[in-house]
Structure 1
Amino acid sequence: MGFQASTWWWIATGILVATELYTGTFYLLMLAVGTACAALSAHAGLGSVGQMITSALVGGLAVTLWHRRQLAQRSHEPLAPAGHNPDVLLDIGQQVQVDAWQPGGQATVRYRGASWQARYAGSATPQAGPHTIRGVEGSTLLLDA
């Protein structure tokens, strides 16, 4: 039992899709689009060289366009410094209780079972009460009301 060329292309497409699902590498899905187009060109009667060229062109173009799209999206996102980036520091956005502020906007707060130095980073006059962590500089929490 011999397979037709289109069957081999469909098998390659299935392998690429399965591998993409396992690894999460979206680029493999773009290559699978190329192999699927090669399978369709085999069904249309295109020769083996034409099928390979179709796979390479469509898959390569899809990968290139996806990569450019990803780069364009990343270039529009402003990168926050690590001390103010909630993707880097999970403490950002958490609440702490400030019992009293010292002169200069300094305080000592309990957070995660330890005493931390804190500095007021807001624009208003600091008041005792709940505050939100807006950043971290060294071991000092930057707080805002």
Structure 2
Amino acid sequence: MAAGGLLWWIAAGVLVVMELFTGTFYLLMVALGFIAGGLAHWAGATLAVELAAAAGVALIAVIVLRRSRFGNWKKRDASRDVNVNLDIGETLQVNEWHEGHARAMYRGAQWDIELAPGEIEGAGWYRITAMQGNRLVVAAKR
């Protein structure tokens, strides 16, 4: 049955194209399983062996991907991530503090400023270390 073998290859191709839209690599691992099913069909295996080969290869590939550095992304705190908040690392001047809180001009607007734990109030110039909502958390610039 040649049409059955062709379905494995068409399905693998469709999964590869779908993977281009998601970018997670998991559909590629399932496509590898479909390729294994197609190879088993080409070798003359029965449908049960084809399905077992496809499922086994896909399962092993997904497990290997999950345990690799590509499948195990660490979640980062977005309030401190420079790639999310481009203001982190920038400097600003704060003249008056009131118990660890202040208001200061930054990028043409008034911002609520909060002093990072363990930092001093009298430094004058501060570096933004995090953004929490509409507050900038700052540390003394060294």
Report the TM-score when normalising by structure 2. Answer: 0.72
**Where in structure 1 are there 5+ consecutive unaligned residues?**
none
CA deviation vs aligned residue, 1:28-71 (integer Å, no higher than 9, x gap): 1111000111111122221222111111221133234434557x
Percent of aligned positions that are identical: 29
- Which residue pairs with 1:56 in the alignment? 55
Asked whether the 8 Å contact 2:95–2:124 carries over to 1, the reply is: yes
> For residue 52 of structure 2, what is the amino acid of its counterpart?
I
How far residue 113 of structure 1 moved from its aligned partner, in angstroms, is 2.4
What is the count of residue pairs matched by the alignment?
A: 139
Aligned-partner residue type, residue 135 of structure 1: A
Query: What SS class does the counterpart of residue 100 from structure 1 fall into?
Result: coil
Say which is worse superposed, 19-28 or 6-15, in terms of deviation: 19-28
Q: Distance in 2 between matches of 1:78 and 1:11?
A: 35
Cα distance change, pair 6–110 in 1 and its aligned pair in 2 (3 A):
same
SS for the counterpart of 2:95 is: coil
- Structure 2 residue runs of 5 or longer lacking an equivalent are none
Distance 1:22-1:36 versus aligned 2 partners, 3 A rule: same
Query: Given the alignment of the two structures, is residue 90 of structure 1 paired with residue 90 of structure 2, yes or no?
Result: no
Counterpart code for 1:110: M
Q: What is the match of residue 116 of structure 1?
A: 111
Instruction: Give runs of ≥4 in structure 1 deviating > 4 Å.
Output: 103-106
| Cα distance change of structure 1 residues 13 and 139 upon mapping to structure 2, 3 Å threshold | closer
Is the alpha carbon distance of 1:101 and 1:91 closer, same or farther for their aligned partners in structure 2, counting shifts above 3 Å?
farther
